[in-house]
Structure 1
């Protein structure tokens, strides 16, 4: 068994390609609640705390619309710090007429929506880890039940919505991939993520440090699905943040030993999974 990736590994900056930068900035500020950090050329950075960016938007010229036939982003997931924060957010979204999907996943309560380009977004709050349950193989039990929306809204009470609260992070990312065996070998066998649970032969969930999942991977767009063309809206890349240089060097060493292609760019390691989803590894 390979050594597991550092337990403090997290998802960092997610970079999205959009068709209209100003429209997307308004949406992510006014509807989702991000803070504007800076705009430079055809890109804009957004954060929850007004400082460290969690989302970068990049306008693409003559964009190709997003379709569900391609591999790539299923959704990125914004983790708010507690259940009350989730209730306040859901009330705000409902007041603005935003269509929502939902799911009580036993380890978390989640709501799903799409941005103006169709990029998938999840906003969720975790249940305390001591409430998570595990099967006989030690894998986290996850499912999908209806969320108790009424109790969420009661908890929110009259708390004003002021955007994403302090402590909000990028909790996980969920990707469409072309096939699971090669994908599992890359993320678990090579990078060192731990397999948390599998849903049959169509989805798997992996994490660092015992979290329920930092990355979801599925073939729901079809086995063999290809990435959308470069000019399409959707995911450009996402960041894996490791806590120190030693953890960074460990990942680079594994890739080098396996003769797996990667590049170094401005202190980050750039690599693609077997489907072609682009990853930037950064040490903080």
Structure 2
């Protein structure tokens, strides 16, 4: 059974080594609001909408790059191209080192937080501009962005923080096995494969024929272990289901597949084949 087309992503929880350092980065550089802060935890997002939860963990270790299954990057989706141009001006003003790519379906800027957690900030092209291969895969690339053209969309100094309508667009992860991961997210969770990029050793999956809500790769190596609990990285990411019927259907598929889960009121928790915790929320 396919997951509902209106399924989307919600908050992502990240482990950091220094909460105040991370709050400063996500507030002053990324442009998020601090929704609330309690002890070693801070909720950041747009106005009252939490998009990322930061958790300071004691004696945090930072793993070598691409050495474990876990977060590759959290992708923050902006509502329009002008917002991307505005934050690009802001990054230049703050001398923030970035990467960038035109993926044909989107335009993206890449950077990392102070602990090395990967971030993508992007805008989507209109769906009418997305091209599809005969096998159903979206045509994507990593071409350079025409920066001069992009910057024409906004004026220098126009940045004023993350705009309303900003959401978590997708999460891209290192996994231990691509085929096992695809089977789990397709047959148990209900996502559709929309990009099987063999040359890249990556698969993209989505609900409602989005270009991808979830990205998976084996760039850290096949069979890599999960990220340890005491290491910087992602604690969980959230999939937002549209109603209670969706959660009932999900539970049925989890039980049929002999996958364990835990339910707490309108939240369900499970762990994927690479050891990553997935949080499902729904409206009663």
- Residue 238 of structure 2 aligns with which residue? 239
Assess if the C-alpha contact under 8 Å between 2:73 and 2:173 holds in 1.
yes
- Residue 184 of structure 2 aligns with which residue? 186
Deviates more, 1:119-128 or 1:252-261: 252-261
Assess if the C-alpha contact under 8 Å between 2:195 and 2:205 holds in 1.
yes
Q: What is the deviation of 1:157?
A: 1.9
CA distance in 2, matches of 1:123, 1:27: 14
- Residue 207 of structure 2 aligns with which residue? 208
SS across alignment from 1:160: coil
- Residue 120 of structure 2 aligns with which residue? 122
How large is the RMSD of aligned CA atoms in angstroms? 1.0
Assess if the C-alpha contact under 8 Å between 2:10 and 2:240 holds in 1.
yes
Indicate which of 52, 75, 81 corresponds to 2:49: 52
- Residue 157 of structure 1 aligns with which residue? 155
Deviates more, 1:213-222 or 1:62-71: 62-71
Assess if the C-alpha contact under 8 Å between 1:31 and 1:93 holds in 2.
yes
- Residue 218 of structure 2 aligns with which residue? 219
**Structure 1 runs of 4+ off > 6 angstroms?**
none
Structure 2 residue 209 is the aligned partner of structure 1 residue 228: no
Q: What is the deviation of 1:159?
A: 5.4
- Give the number of equivalent residue pairs: 281
Indicate which of 4, 7, 12 corresponds to 1:6: 4
SS across alignment from 1:155: coil
CA distance in 1, matches of 2:111, 2:154: 20
Alignment of 1:134-145 (within 5 A): 134-145=132-143
- Residue 259 of structure 2 aligns with which residue? 260
Q: What TM-score results when the alignment is normalised by the length of structure 2? A: 0.97
SS across alignment from 1:99: coil
SS across alignment from 1:164: coil
**C-alpha distance after superposition, 1:69-116 (max 9, x if no partner):** 111000000000111110001110111111111110000000100000
CA distance in 1, matches of 2:64, 2:186: 28
Q: What is the deviation of 1:249?
A: 1.3
CA distance in 2, matches of 1:271, 1:56: 19
CA distance in 1, matches of 2:56, 2:135: 45
Unaligned runs of 5+ in 1: none
SS across alignment from 2:138: coil
CA distance in 1, matches of 2:45, 2:183: 33
Q: What is the deviation of 1:66?
A: 3.2
- Residue 251 of structure 1 aligns with which residue? 250
Indicate which of 52, 61, 64 corresponds to 1:64: 61
CA distance in 2, matches of 1:101, 1:141: 21
Unaligned runs of 5+ in 2: none
CA distance in 1, matches of 2:130, 2:85: 21
Assess if the C-alpha contact under 8 Å between 2:89 and 2:156 holds in 1.
no
Structure 2 residue 74 is the aligned partner of structure 1 residue 87: no
**C-alpha distance after superposition, 1:11-50 (max 9, x if no partner):** 10000000000110010000001011101111000112x1
Assess if the C-alpha contact under 8 Å between 1:11 and 1:240 holds in 2.
yes
Assess if the C-alpha contact under 8 Å between 1:66 and 1:117 holds in 2.
no
- Residue 270 of structure 1 aligns with which residue? 269
Q: What is the deviation of 1:67?
A: 2.2
Q: What is the deviation of 1:7?
A: 0.7
CA distance in 2, matches of 1:34, 1:248: 30
